[in-house]
A and B are shown apart, each in its own frame.
Chain A
Amino acid sequence: MRKFFTLFGREVRSYFYSPIAYIVLVFFLLLSGADIYFQLSFMNGKPVGYSVQEAFFNSIFFWFAFVLVFPLITMRLFSEEFKLGTIEPLMTAPVRDWQVVLAKFFGALFFYIVLWLPTLLYFAIFQFVTKQPAASSTGAYLGSYLMLLLLGMFYISVGCLASVLTKNQIVAAIISFCVITLLFFLGLVSFIVLDVDATTRQLLGYFSAIEQMGTLSRGEIDTRPMVLYTSMTIVMLSLTHLAFQTRKWRL
């Protein structure tokens, strides 16, 4: 367990050593700040039938920032080690492949969580300024952030897999961006293509991050996305582990 935490510590620190981390943080705060600003101005103008969380987590701004962020935080995970050759000292130390894979995954997940922490402040400020009791329940907070975590886990594991496949960070970023965007738009197919039958529509609905976010940010804690994203994350991490092991035979 100590080796895992040693590796994890190195992963987390390496984010804050690189300028990419700060660029992502700033870019992300700008977009999410703009998001909450516009949502609140809109809600100020006329009464609406949804809560602040629902508005914040279901806007175009939010999804745009959301999908872009994963390639940026995962592209360097393995690619950089391959490129710099640091994979050699790393893997000749007595560590197991899965320890490295998990440390990289959780390191990225940690950074992702740090990315979201400031948004909690938005709601605190909202409460402070309006001096009103919360317009929505704890369930809505719980649901929204749970969904963020679940989807984050899954997309980060996709990013891990993309990064383990190549030593070129740009290629890794493009692969994960394409895959994540495709997965994301899978849920939108039923909105775009109208002549699909009910079963297909329902099936695609299961994969729709937007629909799931809609449900969870209302405070309805649905277990289906939990099962879906947790198991998909495990599948992706297993594939990453497998691909990581094949490096021995590719060399």
Chain B
Amino acid sequence: MIKVEHLTKRYAGHTAVQDLSFEVGQGEIMGFLGPNGAGKSTTMRILSSFMPPTSGRASIAGYDIFEQSLQARSHLGYMPENVPLYGDMRVTEYLNYRAALKGVPHRRVPERVGDVKELCGLKEVEKKLIGALSKGFRQRVGLADALVHEPDLLILDEPTSGLDPNQIRQVRDLIKNLGKQHTILLSTHILPEVEMTCSRVIIINKGRIQACDTPENLLGGIRTATGIVLEAKVGTDNGAEQLKQITGVRDVTTATEGDWQTFSLRVESGADVREQVFQMAMMRRWSVRELSQRKATLEDVFVELTHAE
């Protein structure tokens, strides 16, 4: 559905995107992750034909974004970051206008606009001025706009930014549902969201792809091992030293809170030393009030891939 080959975008002085290549297949929900300024929006703007790349090629539904820009754009629903909208139009009026602009046949406009209003929960504000809408509703108008011409592909630039947790959940569910019929490329900072919605993830940093895989594989291949947390009263023992002697434990950090100490253990990849920790606590007569395994999240992957200089 999307094919990107060696895409590079240079601005005066710096390179926003460098030699990007990836593919998004039919029906996939691809998450696009990266810190601010990593080149996510730039890539999405290039794919939506809003700006040309410095070099490289990309195609959408088989249409080259540069040579056959108009066809590529008709197959694409794009929601820009911050969702710029005409504040002086009313919701239905705006969607009618966008549908006509995107070539929805005249007879089908009311039906399509009705459908997307229903889908995005805009019925209650359909007669309101867009300028008077809250951020959450504006976001939904943007999404409805992206969907109105039944595109095969959706590109959503931070669809949940600036929303409250309830709205985030609504938008996330909506995206999940849309994924049944559409191919979606979405960018976000919110990592649990990606774990929940995306079938594949691209992590990009400083304009380069750092990783591109399914969330499960990314978590599996993580070099930061999963951790174990032990909260115990160790008395006069040096808990950290003791725990380090367990095979598989790489590193222990300690935090003290009154009599209680919290030990965070970093262990070798795949190792589960909870049993050994428990045995040690038994043997040395430590009182334990928590022993748990911390599962690595995409956040760990993200930090690992984008933070290390």
Contact = CB atoms under 8 A, between A and B. Distances in A.
Interface of A: 2-3, 6-7, 9-10, 14, 17-18, 84-89, 91-96, 248-249, 251
Interface in B77-127: 78, 80, 82, 84-89, 97-98, 100-103, 106
Nearest to A2: B100
B82 A85 contact: yes
B97 A10 contact: yes
A248 B80 contact: no
B96 to A, nearest CB: 9
A88 B50 contact: yes
Contacts of A18: 88
Contact of A94 (B50, B85, B102, B145): B102
Contacts of A92: 48-50, 73, 76, 78, 80
B248 interface: no
Nearest to B77: A92
B102 A248 contact: no
B238 to A, nearest CB: 59
B51 interface: yes
Interface centre among A6, A14, A84, A248 (most CB of B within 10 A): A6
A82 to B, nearest CB: 10
Contacts of B50: 88, 91-92, 248, 251
Nearest to B50: A92
B52 A94 contact: no
Contacts of B51: 248, 251
B88 A17 contact: yes
Contacts of A87: 84
Contacts of A95: 101
Closest 7 pairs (CB-CB, A-B): A85-B84, A17-B88, A94-B73, A6-B100, A92-B48, A94-B74, A88-B80
Given A3-B103, A6-B101, A85-B80, A96 B86 contact: no
A14 B45 CA distance: 26
A6 B104 CA distance: 12
B63 to A, nearest CB: 11
A2 to B, nearest CB: 7
A89 B102 contact: no
Contact of A14 (B52, B85, B86, B100): B86
A135 B166 CA distance: 73
A89 B80 contact: yes
A93 B80 contact: no
A143 to B, nearest CB: 38
Given A85-B80, A89-B84, 15 more contacts: A3-B101, A3-B103, A84-B86, A86-B84, A87-B84, A88-B50, A92-B50, A92-B76, A92-B80, A93-B98, A93-B102, A94-B102, A248-B51, A248-B52, A251-B51
Interface centre among B50, B52, B76 (most CB of A within 10 A): B50
Contacts of A86: 84-86
B132 interface: no
A2 B106 CA distance: 10
Contacts of A94: 70-71, 73-74, 101-103
Contacts of B73: 92-94
Contacts of A10: 86, 97
B85 A96 contact: no
Given A89-B145, A95-B101, A96-B70, A84 B78 contact: no
A23 to B, nearest CB: 15
Contacts of A84: 84, 86-87
Contacts of A7: 101
15 contacts: A2-B106, A3-B101, A17-B89, A89-B85, A89-B145, A91-B50, A92-B48, A92-B50, A93-B101, A93-B102, A94-B71, A94-B73, A94-B102, A251-B45, A251-B50
